[in-house]
Structure 1
Amino acid sequence: MEQTQSIKNLIEDIDAKKIFLPEFQRDFVWEVSKTYDLFDSLIKDIFIGAIIYGIPSFDIAVREIDNRRKITKGRKRPSLEIKTVTKSEIEKINKTGGNFRLILDGQQRSTSIYRALKGTDEIWFIAKSEDEIESPSFESAKLEELLEEITGEQSSERLSIRLSDVWEIEQNDYDEDDVKEKFFFTSTYYKNYSSTAGFDFKGEFKKFRNLKKKIADLFKSEKLLSFYLLDMNLEKFVVFFERSNTRGVQLNFIDILAAKLYTGNFNLKEKIKEFEQKHQNYNLIPEIIVRAIAYRKSSPKEINRNYILTSLNAEDFKEWWDKICLSYKRTLDYLYDNHYIISQDWIPYDNMMIPLINFVNEIGGDYHFMSSKQKRFIDFWYWNSIFSLRYSGSSNERIIEDSNALTIIANDKKITYLSFFNKLTKIQTLSVEDIYSFDKKANAVYKGLLNIISYEKKGLLNWNNDAKLSLNSTLEDHHIFPKSYLNKSLTNEIDRDLIDCVANRTLVPKIQNIRISDQPPSEYLSTIQLVNPNIGRSLESHLITSELLTGEYDKEFNFFVELRASAIFDIVNKHVIVPKDSIKEEFYEEVRFEETANINVYCSYKSNKASAVFNPSTAKIFYKGDLYESPSAAANAVKIDLGAPEHTTENGWTFWKFVDESGMEKRINEFRK
């Protein structure tokens, strides 16, 4: 029978050593972006699937929940506790109210929740401002209504709160002064706006405190997590793991859209099939095409599914489908021909293609029309987007912002919003040490590191025949020092932690009929050399020293990994870190306004809209015949006009919006110095 529990109960039971995993369960593998989606679903009351617990009636080896931080070179991660629990111990614990149980299904979800609340992973709730919600006030709004996004860093422009901070505050019962000093005053939002005229400290802290309470209430909600509790003998336990399938069936967004467009005589499914038959070496991702069309059509720019399903029609697709598909193919060709990607399967973020598609459409439909100056910017944007994890989590806003920026560059203009450059330069690889922490191929930085090697070397060569790898190559994520060999030969636990790191990995087609698993590198590579005498040249293209063939490195795994990690970081430094200042100087321009230069601005409150005129130079706003000395003063006046209480407060810099020359909606905060 299905039962429910709270997040609070889950965390407390894990801490109390009441919940364990079977020792043989797979490792925690979720990327942090899945944790963003998980909490987004919990807040929106979207079913995330039930956790299945088991009370085994037999002796079993168990291990604790993985709450370890990412790998750091030279620092050993603590081992996960593994112990054997006997049948009699389990019976004794549960007879005395201990509630011992194993997670049979739901490990990734449970571990993600635990890591988020314990602060192992940075998970932030970014809140909407009061003008963006329908409820009468911030305080009366439900948590779902207040959610702008769940992401990995706080916002300097929106009220933000880290989930682990909420847990810490609740567990330690901090008083109001502690909360202010430790959490509110240290936030980038407070630091950004506290010195701004019109900033209402008391009002903003009240919102912060209220948001903290709503999140704490979410943690305490008894009906939030569903679970089944199974009392299992050994036979049933084995059958459960043989037959369990945790993959849920999702509603296909493209199927819904196809049904809508069909009524307007546009056969989307037929068009997809037509592309695939015509271009068999390319994998078409229909949602990329659809979102690119949405960007071309909308103003202000919108590409979310709701806009697509409600606002796009068959005529839009008749006008844009073939053009965008051609740009899609040309973008893939450009990325491959210029060595940004090794193959289509290894693009770090598929959604990054949308800004590029919009860019190439803007310059005339072909990358041959791009200037060398524009190419420098594309280089910078592409690699920095990957290494700053720019497209992890909610990416619609990033797609629009980047499409807008690339449109500006396509028209040989300069970008006037500094925040764009600031976000792009928050990269994840600032030292050689950072290279060691990337060991999962689902991670965009992991993929980016392998791709940037190819970029530096002008393409990776096949180990079997030293030909360049093709766009549609089926590649294996290969351990250079084989895993089985290292498991046998390494005695140092710190070195073992580096077996899967990206410095010991590369991408190659399947190597046929050669025993690799427990061979030292020199032996299996020498066998390959019989088939490909130029294997040394192939290795060098992968940033692997050809001296590996001599056997000198067979017992020097640690030295090899350090050498290759250092070489990889040198490439990142060259193409990502070093250029940032010169790129900013070349492509950023501060907007300067004359005293008389005004722009039209607008705002909304409770679905009602108001317009005004804003002077960026003086920061004054002219609204309904009155001149207000600050955006916040004008915002307060608007809210009162539209039914807010007399003593309402609002941050005017995020309240007022405008549409820039490319049709993108922005906040006037862009004009703050």
Structure 2
Amino acid sequence: MFKSVLTWGPLQKKILELQGEEIRSRFNEIEKGILGALDFLKREANIKHYKMIPFPGLLVPLSAFFATNKTEGISYSSKQKDIILKWFWRSLFTRRFSAGVNERQATDIANMLGLKNDENYDFKLPKNEIKFDFAKSNFSAGNANSKTHILLLNSLTPLSLLSGATIDLNKVLKKASKHEYHHIFPKKHLEREGFARNEINTLSNICFLTRADNNSIKDAAPSVYGAKIDSDRKNKYLQKALIPGTFESLNYNDFIASRTALLEQRAKDLMA
């Protein structure tokens, strides 16, 4: 990673030819680049922990933008911020750094350094498209699609459905607890309805809940626990969780279709 931050040439060979002394002499610059990249994601994308980044390879181009010897670090304009965020979300939803990482890093490093020097630089952005299916991808907190889903939900600062408590993603990660991830149509409820595991554990059926709310809901059907949501705040809670307003009255297949549409629209908004 350090070598990649130091050079923006399109050839991997140029990066590999760097000597250890050059890296050591520019260590401060590299360190500030990495810390600046992480601080940007925390400040502008509400990503409070590096472990939630689905593709660590994207940190290399972002670190190149923030690499500096200046004590005060790199400042950025509103236009630069918007372009970087668009690049970030498009990189996630297109799974840009899932393959061909070296070549794509070199291309994006060049783009980032061009943008760093000129906010009007002709930055070549990834396509505005989603290369995985929320309705068919299964949830596992450690895989890239699930992390992208978590960051998508976290972008709206979700509230727990029953208590309205703010979900602190940083605490969720520190506890490494599965209890803050909730099947909106609970697993056992769907098993009783005859649904298979891969149908139940889809990304479109996952939201955040506090452990207390999760324990309160247990395996109750949405038609049961939905009645417990504060009616005055229900719309707010559901909108922040990207859950259809009539979720408790929908059958499971219709719910998945409706929520997938909401998730896809939010993804498109972030990439626009």
Give secondary structure in 1 for the equivalent of 2:136: coil
> For residues 484 and 461 of structure 1, do their structure 2 counterparts lie closer, same or farther at Cα, with a shift above 3 Å needed?
same
Question: Between the two proteins, what is the percent identity of the paired residues?
Answer: 22
The yes-or-no answer on 1:438 pairing with 2:137 is yes
CA contact (8 A) 1:466 1:535 kept: no
Tell me which of 93, 106, 114 is aligned to 1:400: 106
Q: C-alpha separation between the residues in 2 aligned to 1:387 and 1:559?
A: 24
Aligned to 2:239: 540
| Structure with the bigger percentage of helix | 2
Shift of 1:573: 2.9
Aligned to 1:329: 35
Aligned to 2:200: 499
**Gap runs ≥5 in structure 1:** 1-290, 580-673
The yes-or-no answer on 1:415 pairing with 2:122 is yes
Relative contact order (C-alpha < 8 Å, sep 6+): which is higher?
2
Q: C-alpha separation between the residues in 2 aligned to 1:542 and 1:536?
A: 10
Q: C-alpha separation between the residues in 1 aligned to 2:212 and 2:57?
A: 31
Tell me which of 556, 567, 570 is aligned to 2:265: 570
Shift of 1:349: 1.1
Residues 399-450 of structure 1 show CA distances to partners (whole Å, capped at 9, x for unaligned) of 121111111111115338xxx55xx2173359xxx43232244553443244
Give secondary structure in 1 for the equivalent of 2:96: coil
Give secondary structure in 1 for the equivalent of 2:182: strand
Residues 368-425 of structure 1 show CA distances to partners (whole Å, capped at 9, x for unaligned) of 7211221221122112111221101341221121111111111115338xxx55xx21
Tell me which of 59, 62, 81 is aligned to 1:375: 81
> For residues 426 and 513 of structure 1, do their structure 2 counterparts lie closer, same or farther at Cα, with a shift above 3 Å needed?
closer
CA contact (8 A) 1:345 1:472 kept: no
Give secondary structure in 1 for the equivalent of 2:215: coil
Tell me which of 425, 439, 452 is aligned to 2:127: 425
Q: Which region of structure 1 is more displaced relative to structure 2, 444-453 or 397-406?
A: 444-453
Structure 2 letter corresponding to 1:436: A
Shift of 1:319: 3.4
> For residues 389 and 517 of structure 1, do their structure 2 counterparts lie closer, same or farther at Cα, with a shift above 3 Å needed?
same
Shift of 1:348: 1.7
Q: C-alpha separation between the residues in 1 aligned to 2:242 and 2:223?
A: 16
Aligned to 1:607: none
Q: C-alpha separation between the residues in 2 aligned to 1:560 and 1:518?
A: 17
> For residues 369 and 435 of structure 1, do their structure 2 counterparts lie closer, same or farther at Cα, with a shift above 3 Å needed?
same
Structure 2 letter corresponding to 1:447: K
Q: C-alpha separation between the residues in 1 aligned to 2:266 and 2:245?
A: 19
Tell me which of 447, 466, 476 is aligned to 2:147: 447
Aligned to 1:388: 94
Aligned to 2:219: 518
Q: C-alpha separation between the residues in 2 aligned to 1:343 and 1:462?
A: 20
Aligned to 2:158: 460
Structure number with larger C-alpha Rg = 1
Q: C-alpha separation between the residues in 2 aligned to 1:400 and 1:381?
A: 15
Aligned to 1:93: none
Give secondary structure in 1 for the equivalent of 2:45: coil
Residues 545-577 of structure 1 show CA distances to partners (whole Å, capped at 9, x for unaligned) of 4655xxx43x6222222221111122233333x
Q: C-alpha separation between the residues in 2 aligned to 1:452 and 1:364?
A: 33
> For residues 298 and 525 of structure 1, do their structure 2 counterparts lie closer, same or farther at Cα, with a shift above 3 Å needed?
same
The yes-or-no answer on 1:351 pairing with 2:57 is yes
